[in-house]
């Protein structure tokens, strides 16, 4: 392996069929829109052209250039085969294979070629909108039917946008997840090249990854890797404003990340402490885990105090004798908008997932001068992370005191049935099935009247447009009657 100064950095002895590249080459970090700074020159003993493995190495390592020196039958150098990556290749071509050249008649100005390629990569990057947002490729590896996989990817897009991430591309592979890379090796190669061409700096997977997969993908792509649960936790962390919300989110993050605390490279593991040979001390990884455990214990104590305070507030509300109505539903179904319109409040509402995290209660007066307490709650989502449900237990416990649950459903969503089912499953897991539930099909102004009437009859619901107070009278009458 030769660097750009023409200095040989590594000499590798392989077998007749394969060479193993050293892990140390990862110290040559790849800059934004840049190549590796190394070119790989190796022999092909049967004088064959570049192989699939060669092209994988070119892509995975983002090498400046890869060359295979074909050896003739008499053991002498014969033909040189070479290739390099392309900036945003046309016709799905990600690299250019140069014409074979006779050994001794090779005329390539490597440095000039490499610098011109990097200049092209830089030009492509500079023409894109400059902002501070991450540029992400969204990835799904699934055995689900195409329709289900596409719907799941659409939801992942919404999550990514809610986190402020700029989506540069998406990739779905229909296969069983690879235990090491999640993706197949060929798709991973495409992903590396796509990231280089699109100036992406983040990979977001729709499936949850284990620590081994995160490490393998990170080492191969040299990019940050996030899975669906981490993305949701990140959104929650951005949205939490109260002390209670921040405690709950941090606790969920720590519990999720604790088993995934891994070292970037075992060769970099160093022992601390143990002065004078009194013991091995602790590795940095062990220290991080211990600190995480300590922090979890402190947060759980704080959360226990919060739960007591919530219980006291609930007891106080019960003494008032006012019925409690809790609004539940899939995220971005319009729960906060409905609460605002019913109570003439000004709770933050945005057209994005998880705009509301901190529960809000308001007093609702009915036309017959009766009153109730109505509460907005955090939105649900498919496969809500287990650690998040555990951390937000204090919030979800409030639902158990409700006399009525308003299940708000986005009637305009193409995933209407799936979202309803997800909420119903979470309600069942929280042991809330015994509480009377009233289904509300929101955003009826976005669909036809016939469609709204059909859906209402199918699921026994009331159609409303939360932004239009004039549509809420049937709902108010139904709530008062319950």
Rounded Cα distance between 33 and 170, Å, is 19
CB contact set of 56 (below 8 Å; sequence gap of 6+): 185, 186, 189
Q: Under DSSP, is residue 48 helix (H, G, I), strand (E, B) or coil?
A: coil
Tokens 């899939």 locate to 330
pLDDT at residue 421, as a whole number? 93
- Counted residue by residue, the chain has a size of 482
CB contact set of 96 (below 8 Å; sequence gap of 6+): 83, 84, 86, 89
Buried b or exposed e, range 222-237, using 16+ CB within 10 angstroms: bbebbbbbbbbbbbbb
The answer to whether 344 and 365 have CB atoms below 8 angstroms apart is no
Tens of each residue's pLDDT in the chain, 482 residues = 888 888 898 898 888 777 777 777 766 666 555 788 889 999 998 888 998 888 888 887 888 899 999 998 888 988 999 998 887 655 566 788 888 988 877 778 888 888 888 877 766 655 454 445 788 999 999 999 998 899 999 999 999 998 889 999 999 999 999 999 999 888 888 888 888 778 788 999 999 998 889 888 988 887 889 999 989 888 888 877 778 888 888 888 888 888 877 544 333 333 333 333 334 444 566 777 888 889 999 999 998 888 788 778 777 777 777 888 999 999 889 998 999 899 887 655 555 566 555 667 788 888 777 888 898 887 888 887 777 777 677 667 778 889 999 999 999 998 899 999 999 998 998 889 999 999 999 999 999 999 999 999 999 999 999 999 999 999 999 998 87
pLDDT at residue 169, as a whole number? 93
Rounded Cα distance between 97 and 12, Å, is 24
pLDDT at residue 62, as a whole number? 82
From edge to edge, which strands make up the β-sheet containing 166-174? 166-174, 135-142, 202-205, 224-227
Buried b or exposed e, range 310-321, using 16+ CB within 10 angstroms: beeeeeebeeee
Q: Do 135-235 and 320-481 fold alike per CATH?
A: yes
Q: Within 13 Å and on the Cβ side, how many CA atoms surround 441?
A: 24
Rounded Cα distance between 109 and 49, Å, is 21
- What is the pTM for the complete model shown? 0.72
243-257 vs 284-320: helix axis angle to the nearest 10? 140
Rounded Cα distance between 166 and 11, Å, is 41
Residue 178 bridge partners (DSSP): 182
Rounded Cα distance between 135 and 32, Å, is 12
Class of domain 320-481: alpha beta
CB contact set of 191 (below 8 Å; sequence gap of 6+): 137, 139, 171, 183, 203, 221
The answer to whether 451 and 428 have CB atoms below 8 angstroms apart is no
pLDDT at residue 262, as a whole number? 55
Rounded Cα distance between 386 and 183, Å, is 25
Q: Helices marked H in 81-184 — which ranges?
A: 110-126, 146-162
For the chain, the domains span: 2-126, 135-235, 320-481
Could you please state the CATH topology (level 3) that the domain comprising 135-235 is classified under.
Answer: Rossmann fold (3.40.50)
Rounded Cα distance between 40 and 61, Å, is 10
Burial class (CB in 10 A: 0-12, 13-18, 19+), 482: middle
As given in the structure block, the two tokens for residue 146 are: 């195409």
């Amino acid at each position: 392996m030769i660097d750009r100064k023409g200095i040989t950095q590594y000499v590798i002895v392989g077998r007749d069929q394969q060479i193993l590249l050293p892990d140390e080459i990862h110290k040559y970090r790849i800059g934004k829109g840049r190549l590796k700074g190394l070119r790989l020159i190796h022999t092909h003993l049967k004088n064959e052209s570049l192989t699939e493995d060669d092209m994988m190495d070119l892509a995975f390592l983002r090498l400046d250039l890869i060359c295979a020196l074909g050896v003739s039958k008499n053991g002498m150098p014969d033909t040189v085969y070479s290739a390099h990556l392309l900036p945003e290749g046309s016709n799905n071509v990600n690299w250019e294979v140069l014409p074979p050249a006779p050994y001794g008649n090779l005329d390539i100005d490597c440095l000039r070629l490499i610098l011109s390629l990097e200049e092209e990569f830089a030009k492509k990057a500079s023409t894109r909108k400059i902002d501070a947002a991450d540029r992400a490729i969204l990835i799904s590896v699934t055995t689900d039917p195409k329709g289900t996989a596409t719907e799941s990817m659409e939801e992942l897009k919404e999550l990514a946008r809610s986190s402020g991430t700029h989506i540069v591309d998406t990739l779905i592979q229909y296969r069983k997840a690879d235990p090491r890379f999640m993706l197949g090796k060929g798709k991973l190669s495409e992903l590396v090249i796509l990231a280089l061409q699109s100036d992406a700096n983040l990979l977001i997977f729709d499936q949850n990854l284990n620590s081994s997969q995160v490490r393998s993908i990170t080492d191969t792509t040299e990019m940050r890797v996030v899975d669906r649960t981490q993305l949701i936790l990140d959104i929650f962390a951005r949205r939490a404003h109260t002390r209670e919300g921040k405690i709950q989110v941090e606790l969920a993050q720590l519990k999720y990340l604790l088993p995934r605390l891994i070292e970037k490279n075992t060769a970099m593991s160093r022992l601390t402490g143990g002065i004078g040979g009194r013991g091995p001390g602790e590795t940095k990884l062990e220290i991080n885990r211990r600190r995480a455990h300590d922090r979890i214990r402190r947060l759980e104590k704080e959360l226990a105090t919060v739960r007591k305070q919530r219980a006291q507030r609930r007891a106080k509300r019960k003494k008032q004798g006012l019925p409690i109505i809790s609004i539940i539903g899939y995220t971005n179904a319009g729960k906060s908008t409905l609460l605002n319109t019913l109570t003439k409040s000004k709770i933050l509402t945005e057209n994005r997932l998880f705009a509301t995290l901190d529960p809000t209660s308001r007093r609702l007066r009915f036309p017959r001068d009766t009153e109730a307490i109505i509460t907005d709650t955090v939105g649900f989502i498919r496969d809500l992370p287990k650690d998040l449900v555990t951390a937000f237990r204090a919030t979800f416990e409030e639902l158990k005191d409700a006399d009525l649950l308003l299940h708000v459903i986005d009637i305009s969503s193409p995933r209407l049935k799936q979202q309803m089912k997800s909420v119903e499953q979470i309600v069942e897991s929280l042991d809330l099935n015994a509480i009377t539930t009233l289904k509300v099909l929101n955003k009826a102004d976005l669909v036809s009247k016939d469609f709204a009437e059909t859906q209402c009859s199918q699921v026994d619901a009331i159609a409303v447009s939360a932004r239009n107070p004039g549509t809420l009278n049937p709902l108010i009458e139904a709530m008062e009657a319950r």
